[in-house]
A and B are shown apart, each in its own frame.
Chain A
Amino acid sequence: MSSLLKITDLHVSVDEKPILKGVSLEIRQGEIHALMGPNGSGKSTLAYTLVGHPKYEVTSGSIEIDGTPLNDLDPCERARLGLFLAFQYPVTIPGVKVADFLRHAVTNIRNPARKEGESLIAMKEFRKELKERMEALGMDVEFARRYLNEGFSGGEKKRMEILQLAMLQPKFAILDETDSGLDSDAVRVVSEGLRKLAGPQMGVLIITHHERLLEYNVPQFTHVMLAGKIVETGDASLAHELHNHGYATVRQRHPTEAAEEQERQKTAPAIAAVR
């Protein structure tokens, strides 16, 4: 049976400011969903809330995987249940080699019951798998020896996120603007990489402004977010329309949310910058 990520009437605040105001969404393994919306509408907030960023406070509503509530779980426990976020701004971890980091991560995710200090997966098989995955993504194998994201270009960081996705094979992957800030070659590499990885075993939520990623990974569902709510859901053609015509018509169709969006921009222009 395929797994289900179920978000029900989710309300989220940051520093006591309400950002999400009742988001409901169901993603099954094997499905691709696109989440679009103007800056500050709450897309990244949803992504961070799903992985359990401590700054994002769920004031009501629930997140569940196959009926297991995630609200009280920390990011580590959520990851071990099969949730993955490809970060929009991956941080640098100085002095920690990519290979060492990934070997720890892969061990924990594949053996969720592992306790600290228990042995890691065998080095030989891990190296072989890592090498294959890196080659498939067109990455120089030397990257495994580099410190995590240190001195990486924007494109290299995003590719590193996709490499982690490939190694961890989560049930549900959220990609937060994985295509932003990349040149068209890099977008192609990342898009193709994702297409090869996404299959019947993975539910994908793609947060994007662009269409390119969606050309390679055609969504069955497109959701539009405005002022902390999902105001419309359609198929791939909705994404296409938004890409071509922007959000003006969406705002016309949802005057209440559009008004609130304007209000938010006046009172809290910094919200868009909250990562």
Chain B
Amino acid sequence: MTTDVPVLEDEIGVGDYQFGFHDPTDKYVFQSRRGLDRQIVEQISEMKNEPAWMRKFRLDALEMFFQRPMPTWGGDMSELDFQNMFYYVKASQGQEKSWDDVPEDIRKTYDRLGIPEAEKKYLAGVKAQYESEVVYGSLQEDLAKQGVIFTDTDSALRDYPDLVREYFGTVIPSADNKFAALNSAVWSGGSFIYVPKGVKIEFPLQAYFRINTQNMGQFERTLIIVDEGASIHYVEGCTAPTYSSDSLHSAVVEILVKRGGRCRYTTIQNWSNNVYNLVTKRAKAYGDSLMEWVDGNLGSKLTMKYPAIYLMEPGARGETLSIAFAGKGQHQDAGAKMVHCAPYTSSRVISKSISKDGGRAGYRGLVKATHDAHHCKSNVVCDALILDSKSRSDTYPYIEVNNNNLTIEHEASVSKIAEEQLLYLMSRGMTETEASAMIVTGFIEPLVKELPMEYAVEMNRLIELQMEGSVG
């Protein structure tokens, strides 16, 4: 099929998700056959012309993936068919430095998503991953001169082999869980970032992930190293076309924040409602450093994601702000893990979940302290807002503490929109939809105000879209 314009969601009648269009795929460079086996993994490694150690790493991980049983907790994955997926799809020849060189169909998609415009206005660098490979990349010149590396992980493996080999898989070993093993076997793309000692990047670096093919599996692999006293804000956004059958996104994100460094990792996940989003994210934070996850989950069919922070040395701080919004047919099993491995470390989790139209949103979290981790502090607050009686909210807070000398606080609340609140706003001229949206926006405002302005606006806009047509 060849068309000049992307197919609009309305034409295929799949609801009001505004990024549900897709591009033609007939000009693609390569697409692996459906399914997963040793041969597919070898093929991926060969196409990428990888060193022998990475090929072995992949094949070992594949064995672990096959051996591991499916998790029996979290969400329903009974319809997830691993043998029906495409594990590697290459849409264009390579990564471009100018949008003009990106194939037209793909460029148009990013235009519609507003990426080149955002890049001009407020970003220090951009990576655009389309299917399995990064198709566009940029980084401000002065940052490159200061030694900042911002590239895709495949290029990093070629250009900085020692750096990659030193850290790759050290934060999240392949054996960590079934989906980490899967990613380790078939990973492609993702961001590799190194921020040298003392370099503070003022504006965010953004990566944008787009799935286009039906039954596509996207397995990006991101590795961020923030050296001593350096700081970075990394943002990722994700969308996909709306199809009647499922796609899979299973990323691994590893982060190291060295002494005195700061890293904020913001996700605005807005996959279409046919994507399984099963992601492993973990950071190690060393002495006096600060690691923050800002995790917004609005899209997908099922998300299981619990960004973790291992607080490795005294003075390390970890913070996770999590927003989950589950609408019709969606299950957001989101949360956070804080592992205190050293004394005098502190962590904070704020989680806000919203469910409507039969959606299910929940918080699953772990606070753990090892035997040596005395004088630690941890504070967890999770609030849930349920918009109607069909919808559901769950809270699963786990605490494992192996010493007595620390403070852990946990608060949880569940609320419904009160009739009185709706009446009050409606009696001031708001429609029921506007009133509900205003209450929901207010509910997440303590988190949204932490975001840079552009992302706060985007988050509120997405929430409003989610709210449209939800009542009345």
Binding site for B on A (CB under 8 A): 51-55, 74-76, 78-80, 84-85, 87, 90-91, 93-96, 101, 104-105, 108-109, 112, 116, 147-148, 164, 168, 275
Known contacts A54-B419, A91-B424, A93-B424; A105 and B430 CB within 8 A of each other: yes
List A contacts of B431 (CB < 8 A): 76, 116
Q: Is there a chain A Cβ closer than 8 Å to B445's Cβ?
A: yes
Binding site for A on B (CB under 8 A): 418-421, 423-435, 438-439, 441-446, 468
List B contacts of A78 (CB < 8 A): 427
- Are B445's CB and A96's CB within 8 A? yes
Which of A79, A90, A93, A112 contacts B439, CB < 8 Å?
Answer: A93
| CB of B383 to closest CB in A, whole Å | 10
| CB of B437 to closest CB in A, whole Å | 9
- Are A91's CB and B421's CB within 8 A? yes
List A contacts of B426 (CB < 8 A): 52, 74-76, 79
Known contacts A95-B441, A95-B443; A79 and B423 CB within 8 A of each other: no
- Are B445's CB and A108's CB within 8 A? no
A-B contact pairs, 15 of them (CB 8 A): A53-B423, A55-B419, A76-B427, A76-B435, A79-B428, A84-B427, A91-B420, A93-B424, A93-B438, A94-B442, A104-B434, A108-B430, A112-B429, A116-B431, A116-B434
Rounded to whole angstroms, the CA-CA distance of A85 and B426 in the bound complex is 11
Residue of A nearest to B448 (CB): A95
Residue of A nearest to B472 (CB): A74
Rounded to whole angstroms, the CA-CA distance of A80 and B427 in the bound complex is 9
List A contacts of B432 (CB < 8 A): 74, 76
Rounded to whole angstroms, the CA-CA distance of A87 and B426 in the bound complex is 13
Known contacts A54-B419, A79-B429, A105-B429; A96 and B438 CB within 8 A of each other: yes
Which of B420, B439, B468 contacts A96, CB < 8 Å?
Answer: B439
Residue of B nearest to A150 (CB): B442
| CB of A20 to closest CB in B, whole Å | 18
Known contacts A51-B423, A55-B419, A91-B421; A108 and B438 CB within 8 A of each other: no
Known contacts A95-B444, A116-B433; A75 and B420 CB within 8 A of each other: no
Which of A91, A104, A112, A275 contacts B438, CB < 8 Å?
Answer: A104
Rounded to whole angstroms, the CA-CA distance of A104 and B431 in the bound complex is 11
Rounded to whole angstroms, the CA-CA distance of A160 and B425 in the bound complex is 14
Rounded to whole angstroms, the CA-CA distance of A266 and B329 in the bound complex is 50
Rounded to whole angstroms, the CA-CA distance of A90 and B418 in the bound complex is 13
Rounded to whole angstroms, the CA-CA distance of A30 and B370 in the bound complex is 73
- Are A75's CB and B438's CB within 8 A? no
Rounded to whole angstroms, the CA-CA distance of A96 and B442 in the bound complex is 5
Which of B427, B430, B433, B441 contacts A52, CB < 8 Å?
Answer: B427
Rounded to whole angstroms, the CA-CA distance of A90 and B431 in the bound complex is 19
Which of B425, B435, B445 contacts A95, CB < 8 Å?
Answer: B445
List B contacts of A96 (CB < 8 A): 438-439, 441-442, 445
- Are A105's CB and B445's CB within 8 A? no
Rounded to whole angstroms, the CA-CA distance of A53 and B423 in the bound complex is 6
Q: Which 8 A-B pairs have the closest CB atoms?
A: A95-B442, A95-B445, A108-B429, A96-B442, A75-B426, A105-B428, A79-B429, A76-B426
Residue of A nearest to B445 (CB): A95
- Are A75's CB and B427's CB within 8 A? yes
Rounded to whole angstroms, the CA-CA distance of A55 and B422 in the bound complex is 12
- Are B442's CB and A93's CB within 8 A? yes
| CB of A83 to closest CB in B, whole Å | 8
Known contacts A96-B439, A147-B442; A80 and B423 CB within 8 A of each other: no
| CB of A111 to closest CB in B, whole Å | 9
| CB of B410 to closest CB in A, whole Å | 20
List B contacts of A91 (CB < 8 A): 418, 420-421, 424
List A contacts of B435 (CB < 8 A): 76
List A contacts of B446 (CB < 8 A): 95
List B contacts of A55 (CB < 8 A): 419
Rounded to whole angstroms, the CA-CA distance of A85 and B418 in the bound complex is 18
Rounded to whole angstroms, the CA-CA distance of A123 and B428 in the bound complex is 19
Name which of B425, B444, B445, B468 has the most chain A CB atoms within 10 A of its CB.
B425
Rounded to whole angstroms, the CA-CA distance of A90 and B444 in the bound complex is 21
